[in-house]
Amino acid sequence: MSTWTLKSTPPHDWFLCLDIEQYFDHEHDPETIFEEGFTRPIPVGDRDVIVTTFFNGDVEQPEFHCESPETLDKREIELANKSLARIFGTDLDLRPLYEKAENDPVLGPKLTELYGLKRMARANLFEDAVNRIIEMRLSHKPTAKRMVHDVREKYGTTLVHNGKNIPAWPRPHQLIKANPMSIRKLGPTKRKGEFIIGMAEDILAGELDLEFLETCDPQTFYDTIKDVRGIGPTSAQQLMLFRNQTAAAFPSNKKSGEEKGLRKWIIMSYGGDPDTITEDDFKEMITNWEGYEASALEFMFVNWVLSEKEKKRKRDV
């Protein structure tokens, strides 16, 4: 067994994430994570290992206590921490955003209400892309999560934790052994199966460089990933938010003169007209977000999720 500590840049209140079901996979129950920890397979070199993390609850001195039943050497722990840092956003420093946007009429109140929030992602861009492709256009999220789980179970490495099987996320070399119809039998459409296998083939052929995409500037990321079959402009903007970076870009994506995607939502949140606003006016609208666009939008998203939950609670009373 191996244990270690992963420190996070403050402020960080990971417990806020437990209210956001979209951050978790089929096998996770956020209501039990507070006491039992967050468990998932982590890619470590050529193998996958189970890691359970416990948050210390200290927003200003945040730490994650990590445990693995495997015996990991120093290099393997470093590799595990690279994935864990991306999952939890521990390297993201949002302190400048709190200062820049304190008086922002839309974002400012959300920074106060959700102080310490950092987005959750998956261990790497390929995992996020597979998840996004499968769940795309599926409104019933439990069903979508089950489909993702079934693809992992079919093509990923199966690990055992406390007597339960937990499938790791399949690597590209595992998914190219699949065929679209086999994936179709697990729930996703045949086209989604083609998209996933195609992306895996592009990665293995060297036509898609995940390390480059993780570190390049937002516009380059968007221009590159949106042309991947099955991604497109809206998914490209979504995937940009999960990188281990605070910055993002929201290029215009108009169809028949009507703005689409995240840019439309942002403009409407500030009371603007997404179909007629100029690029200069849009940049001025989110001037307080500069360099922290991805993180700022996550505050907007989480606030929306919690607001919708509260509306549902009141309807059900």
The pLDDT score that the predictor gives to residue 310 is 87
- The pLDDT value recorded for residue 256 is 87
Give the residue numbers spanning the domain of 41: 1-91
Q: Is 116 left (phi over 0), alpha (psi -120 to 50) or beta?
A: left
Q: Where are the beta strands (DSSP E) in 100-169?
A: 158-161, 164-167
The domain that holds 48 is classified in CATH as: 3.30.310.20
On whether residue 44 sits in a domain, the answer given is yes
CA pair distance 249, 278, nearest whole angstrom: 15
Residue 56 to residue 299: CA distance in whole angstroms = 22
Per-residue burial over 212-242, b = 16 or more CB atoms within 10 Å of its CB, e = otherwise: ebeebebeebbebbbebebbebbbbbbbbbb
**pLDDT tens for each residue of the chain, 317 residues long:** 999 999 999 999 999 999 999 999 999 999 999 999 999 999 999 999 999 999 999 999 999 999 999 999 999 999 999 999 999 999 999 999 999 999 999 999 999 999 999 999 999 999 999 999 999 989 898 999 999 999 999 999 999 999 999 999 999 999 999 999 999 999 999 999 999 999 999 999 999 999 999 999 999 999 999 999 999 898 999 999 999 999 999 999 888 889 988 999 999 999 999 999 999 999 999 999 999 999 999 999 999 999 998 888 888 87
The answer to the question of residue 161 being in a domain is no
Element (H, E) at 259: strand 258-259
Closest CA to 233 of 163, 132, 310: 132
- The predicted structure's pLDDT at residue 316: 82
Q: Is 67 inside a domain boundary?
A: yes
**Number of structural domains the chain divides into:** 1
Residue 155 included in any domain: no
pLDDT at 180: 96
**Distance separating alpha carbons of residues 175 and 96, to the nearest angstrom:** 41
> Is 197 part of any domain?
no
